[in-house]
Chains A and B, each alone.
Chain A
Amino acid sequence: MRRRAGVGAIQKQKLEQEKYKEKGSEIQENQFQQMCKQLEVFRENLEDFASKHKNEIKKNAQFRRQFQEMCAAIGVDPLASGKGFWSVLGIGDFYYELGVQIVEVCLATNYKNGGLITLDELRSKLIAARGKAKKHQDITNEDLLAAVKKLRIFGNGFTVIPIGKGKWLVQSVPGELNLDQTLVLQKASALGTAWVSASILTGDLRWNETRAQNALNHMVKEGLAWVDTQDTSETLYWFPSMFAECVSA
């Protein structure tokens, strides 16, 4: 090979390097697309198998474990029973499966909504996560309510609250484990005002209206907050426990 020297050679080399790099990323990009395609194939097939061969998969312990591993890696839900004849009578796994999926959606979103979610939103999230097959789309709000009913024996830690006609709110975090009030108090003490309003909570903590109002109402009920309607724009909630700090500050 000819010996290379001089600025021209260096520039050439640089150019070459760049080209190699370009090619490299091109290959990588290509490979990534292939992987995505394979992921899709996997997902479709796993979803298909989960709904068709559930009982066979259950029988073989080793394979069951492997199937679960695959589902976990790809993010497919192995629980995909249809609403068969037996589920009308409340027998069979259908409603248990739904129950598991309902709680799962609540758990997964609870960092955003504090354990409060409307039934409609819950349904759309559940269906999206369940898979693309047609029968998953047919799950109705009534199915969800029936599934939640089965969780009633856990006490009222998981409840459905009717809010107006045909609308429900699912509460997945029992009051004892709800940290929203603590967050409200933290907010108030951070502001140094000894009061907050619903708009502060929705604005600063990115809560939705229901969550904010719920937390505040609860605190009023518990005697932790006092209502102040003198402000013209909205109701303020004062925390007597912080009066002393505010006065001394």
Chain B
Amino acid sequence: MDRFEYIEARLFEGENYLKREKGVKIYDGEDKTQYVDGEVILTTHRILWGKAGDIPKGLTCLSLPLYYVFCLEEENSGVFGLGGPKRILLHLGPALPGKRPGPAVVSPYHFIKFSFKDGVDPLFFKALNDAVNAKAWERTPQQQLTSSESVVNTSTKSPVTPVNSKIRSGIVGIERSIEEHHRATDESISVAFQDLRKLMEKAKEMVSISKTISTKIREKQGDISEDDTVRFKSYLMSLGIDDPVTRDAFRSDSDYYLGLAQQISDMMVSVLMDCGGIMSLADVWCRVNRARGLELISPEDLLNACKLLGTIDAPMSLRKFPSGACVLQLNSQSDEEVAKVTSQLLEENGSLTPVKLSQLANVSVLLARERLFTTERRGLACRDESIEGLAFYPNLFLTKAA
């Protein structure tokens, strides 16, 4: 809206009348304005809008120089687009400095819409399109030089020379090219999402566009969303599996579970290492399915596959706690390893309670006690049960007895 100027309705030298429409409303971007039910005059240089009857009388009206327009499209209204397009959408370049005052000083939008009460006349749209493409204003300066009235002419005409859109230089040129780039992207997105087949064809391009958008936004505001869950989701999905194992690809269930076990083990190794070597099966199920995308596996399938982890020499195994909770844990957490590490800690600290071990090893108290019991069972620790609680000491019989 900030591209409009107030001006008396008069044609300039070299400017020609093209077409006229009635019952026209202006939208500033998506917003309605007070300019309703007016009359529009299209010339070779401008679009004039005035209250009905104002323009023929030469009263003040709104004028939009056509050099602001770099693209236009018809917009269908209504759910089914019945009765043809009702609006024309004009994408505008940024307001040039030194323009005459207009109805708005700033506008958040880079496009305006003309809404036609009786629908868009295809002839009007065509004429507008032609006028924008003909760029009559680029020719006028030369004519003006030869014209004796050139001085008068420039004073009535908007005082800045319009930017030649072919030679892109200066800030305006940069802005325009950015603008155009955005438009091109917008367009390719809207084309690609018309139907599934088109999206498949353009999938590669869309993937890269989606990534650019999200990196740009991440740079600017930290992350694509403030929602913890959305962020986490996007993280989980980015660790995708290229070719998820499916039941159809295998002849028997046991083969399928073996394949699944292999894939789970490949995927979870690094995850488990990152989070302390142990994870509840529900978490594993969620992560595996997120990585698989649309090919979900059921909890039963996961459980069956995890039972087979031992048979394929995977670096992890399924474990069931006495409480009944199932977890997946790295083999470095196996009883032997645990006993070895815990007995070392016992030596270093002289004695350990479950509470102390839980703090040293950063595991839960329950798990810490479990570890101490394991160590005890292997004969590497001795129990001291008293009113102060449960404590364990190194087994001196192993070291001192001889």
Binding-face segment, B53-61, B74-82, B160-168, B209-217: B209-217
Q: Mark each residue of chain B from 255 to 277: 1 if its CB lies under 8 Å from any CB of chain A, else 0.
A: 00000000000000000000000
CA separation between A65 and B36, bound complex, in Å? Answer: 49
Residue of A nearest to B225 (CB): A75
> Which B residues are CB-close (under 8 A) to A70?
203, 206-207, 210
CA separation between A126 and B229, bound complex, in Å? Answer: 8
> Which B residues are CB-close (under 8 A) to A224?
355, 365, 389
Binding-face segment, A7-15, A104-112, A137-145: A104-112
Nearest chain B CB to A180's CB is how many angstroms away? Answer: 8
Residue of A nearest to B281 (CB): A154
Q: Which residues from 164 to 182 on chain B have a C-beta closer than 8 Å to any C-beta of chain A? A: 171, 174-175, 178, 182
> Which B residues are CB-close (under 8 A) to A30?
178
> Which A residues are CB-close (under 8 A) to B229?
104-105, 108-109, 125-126, 128-129
Residue of B nearest to A189 (CB): B359
Contact of A104 among B178, B232, B296, B299 (CB under 8 A): B232
> B185: CB under 8 A from chain A?
yes
Whether the Cβ atoms of B210 and A74 lie closer than 8 Å is yes
Whether the Cβ atoms of B213 and A73 lie closer than 8 Å is yes
Whether the Cβ atoms of B189 and A42 lie closer than 8 Å is yes
Whether the Cβ atoms of B286 and A241 lie closer than 8 Å is no
> B311: CB under 8 A from chain A?
no
> Which B residues are CB-close (under 8 A) to A41?
186, 189-190, 193
Residue of A nearest to B288 (CB): A100
> B126: CB under 8 A from chain A?
no
Whether the Cβ atoms of A176 and B370 lie closer than 8 Å is yes
Whether the Cβ atoms of A157 and B327 lie closer than 8 Å is yes
Residue of B nearest to A157 (CB): B325
Whether the Cβ atoms of B236 and A66 lie closer than 8 Å is no
Q: Mark each residue of chain B from 226 to 249: 1 if its CB lies under 8 Å from any CB of chain A, else 0.
A: 011111111011101011000000
Nearest chain B CB to A73's CB is how many angstroms away? Answer: 4
Nearest chain B CB to A129's CB is how many angstroms away? Answer: 4
Whether the Cβ atoms of A107 and B232 lie closer than 8 Å is yes
Whether the Cβ atoms of A38 and B189 lie closer than 8 Å is yes
Interface residues of A: mostly helix, strand, loop or mixed? helix
> B363: CB under 8 A from chain A?
yes
> Which A residues are CB-close (under 8 A) to B389?
223-224, 240-241
> Which A residues are CB-close (under 8 A) to B359?
182, 185-186
> Which B residues are CB-close (under 8 A) to A57?
196, 294
> Which B residues are CB-close (under 8 A) to A231?
none
Q: Mark each residue of chain B from 329 to 367: 1 if its CB lies under 8 Å from any CB of chain A, else 0.
A: 000000000000000000000000101101100111111
> A132: CB under 8 A from chain B?
no
> Which A residues are CB-close (under 8 A) to B251?
none
> Which B residues are CB-close (under 8 A) to A156?
323-325
> B400: CB under 8 A from chain A?
no
Whether the Cβ atoms of A96 and B296 lie closer than 8 Å is yes
Nearest chain B CB to A239's CB is how many angstroms away? Answer: 8
Whether the Cβ atoms of B290 and A104 lie closer than 8 Å is yes
Nearest chain B CB to A242's CB is how many angstroms away? Answer: 9
Q: Please judge, given known A-B contacts A129-B229, A156-B323, A177-B364, whether A96 and B289 are in contact too, CB under 8 Å.
A: yes
CA separation between A61 and B244, bound complex, in Å? Answer: 9
CA separation between A67 and B289, bound complex, in Å? Answer: 15
CA separation between A23 and B174, bound complex, in Å? Answer: 11
Q: Please judge, given known A-B contacts A96-B298, A157-B280, whether A35 and B213 are in contact too, CB under 8 Å.
A: yes
Q: Which residues from 131 to 167 on chain A have a C-beta closer than 8 Å to any C-beta of chain B? A: 150-151, 153-158
Contact of A174 among B171, B200, B298, B323 (CB under 8 A): B323
> A120: CB under 8 A from chain B?
no
> Which B residues are CB-close (under 8 A) to A61?
243
> Which A residues are CB-close (under 8 A) to B196?
49, 53, 56-57
Whether the Cβ atoms of A150 and B299 lie closer than 8 Å is yes
In the A-B complex, list the 5 residue pairs whose CB atoms are closest, starting with the nearest. A174-B325, A103-B286, A157-B325, A108-B232, A72-B237
What are some 17 contacts across the A-B interface (CB < 8 A)?
A27-B174, A30-B178, A34-B182, A36-B217, A57-B196, A64-B294, A70-B207, A97-B296, A100-B289, A128-B229, A155-B325, A172-B283, A176-B321, A176-B327, A177-B280, A177-B325, A241-B356
- Known contacts A65-B242, A74-B213; 9 additional CB pairs below 8 A are A38-B186, A96-B296, A103-B283, A108-B233, A151-B282, A154-B303, A155-B325, A157-B326, A174-B327
